[in-house]
Amino acid sequence: MFNLPPPDILLQLSLNGALGGAMYGVAAVGLSLIFGTMRLIFLAQGAMIILAAYFVRALFYGLGIDPFLSLLIVVPVGLGVGWLMYQGLFRKAAAEEDRNVSLLIAVGLMFLVQNLMTVVWGGNTAGVVTSYTATGIELLGVRTSFTRSMGFLIALAGTGLVMLFLRKTIVGKAVRAASEDMDAATLMGISPHRVNAIAFAIGIALAGAAGVAVATTFPFNPFAGFIFSLKALVALALGGIGNVTGALAGGILLGLIEAYVQFFISGGWTNAIAYGVFLAVLMFKPEGLFSRPYKKA
């Protein structure tokens, strides 16, 4: 048996894990929405996050706009891009019986975005260094980085807004209805294309928000997105597919698992154990760890 480290280290690990995991969570919320209405595993989500990160970087170095302030630009742009993306790329495929078609469009989009980024910004690792990048803050008696905490807040705020939208607005209700049963929702007069487009718009806007968090916290390169997509999928499965708060919680849980595995076992095994947990959850609790039966979103 290994000795348990002192509690302050455990607290530090938990905090860092949770803060990092929130980023997977916000990506997973976007995936969850898109999956909910379209039953599409949107593999390009990670690439969109990195694209947003590069966009934030360009705004910062080109126009001097603070990364966190650029949320005000990135999120609306994300909404628009998501809407257009659905109308241009996925609208026709969504009506197709064979869902491989939309999956492959997502894969093609991932290739396209990744490589366009390489052409435009080069394949090297990039980052955003601001005056506060190296600043730490004191939280619950342990120190953590300011940017990570901001990323966590962005994730919470993003998920909270999506929750409010889904719960309190009539359009949100339509999206939820479509996620539960598209046929029945269509019979009630909900246009599948509209809810799909809305889900896409919000999903990409969330990718934008995640992009801000990534840009300020980590160095990134055009190909870093795919692993994000995979991690977001794991978070999604942990939280229960179609469950928005569950997706955020799943992301945080995944962050915690990664932090603990890195500390107690070894960094090399992080992914294997994360995916092992993922498989176990899929197999034994496919409805997710945080969902109550018959209640969604």
Partner 1 sequence: MSNAFKWIAIVAVAALALLPFVPGAVDAYYFSFLFFVFLYAIMAQSWNLVAGYGGQISLGSHAFFGLGAYTTAILWNGNYLWGSLYDAHPGIYYFDPVTMALGGAVAAFAAAIIGLPLLSKLRGDYFALGTLGFGEIVKVLFVNGGDFTGSAFGIVAPAGMFDTLRPHYWVALGLMVATALAIGVLMRSRYGLALIAVRDDEMAASANGIDVLKVKVAAFAGSAFIAGVAGSLYTFYIFHVGPDSVFDLDWMLLPLMMTVVGGTGTLLGPILGALVMYAVFDLARIVVPDYHPVISGLTIILAMLFLPKGLMRSFAGRVMVA
Nearer to partner 1, 99 or 173 (CB): 99
**Residue 232 CB, nearest approach to partner 1 (Å):** 11
The window from 53-61, 93-101, 132-140, 245-253 that contacts partner 1 (CB under 8 A) reads 93-101
Exposed/middle/buried for residue 186 (C-beta within 10 Å: 0-12, 13-18, 19+): middle
Q: Are 176 and 297 in contact, with CB atoms under 8 Å apart?
A: yes
**Calpha distance 84→260 (Å, rounded):** 41
Give the distance from CA 83 to its chain's centroid: 17
13 CB-near residues (< 8 Å, 6+ apart): 259, 260, 263
The 38-77 site mask, x for binding partner 1 (CB under 8 A), equals: -x-x------------------------------------
- Could you write out the three-class secondary structure of 10-53? HHHHHHHHHHHHHHHHHHHHHHHHHHHHHCCCCCCHHHHHHHHH
Which one of 119, 129, 171, 184 is in contact with partner 1 (CB under 8 A)? 119
Q: How big is the site for partner 1, counted in residues (CB under 8 A)?
A: 44
**Calpha distance 218→128 (Å, rounded):** 8
Nearer to partner 1, 268 or 293 (CB): 268
Nearer to partner 1, 98 or 138 (CB): 98
165 is an interface residue for partner 1 by CB under 8 A: no
What are the two backbone dihedrals, phi and then psi, of residue 207, each rounded to the nearest 5 degrees?
-60, -40
The 264-283 site mask, x for binding partner 1 (CB under 8 A), equals: ----xx-xx--xx-xx--xx
Which one of 58, 77, 84, 115 is in contact with partner 1 (CB under 8 A)? 115
What are the two backbone dihedrals, phi and then psi, of residue 144, each rounded to the nearest 5 degrees?
-145, 165
Which one of 49, 109, 202, 252 is in contact with partner 1 (CB under 8 A)? 109
- Write the DSSP symbol of residue 136: E
Which one of 59, 232, 237, 249 is in contact with partner 1 (CB under 8 A)? 237
Contacting positions for partner 1 (CB under 8 A): 35, 39, 41, 89, 92-93, 96, 98, 100-105, 107-116, 118-119, 226, 230, 233-234, 237, 241, 268-269, 271-272, 275-276, 278-279, 282-284, 286
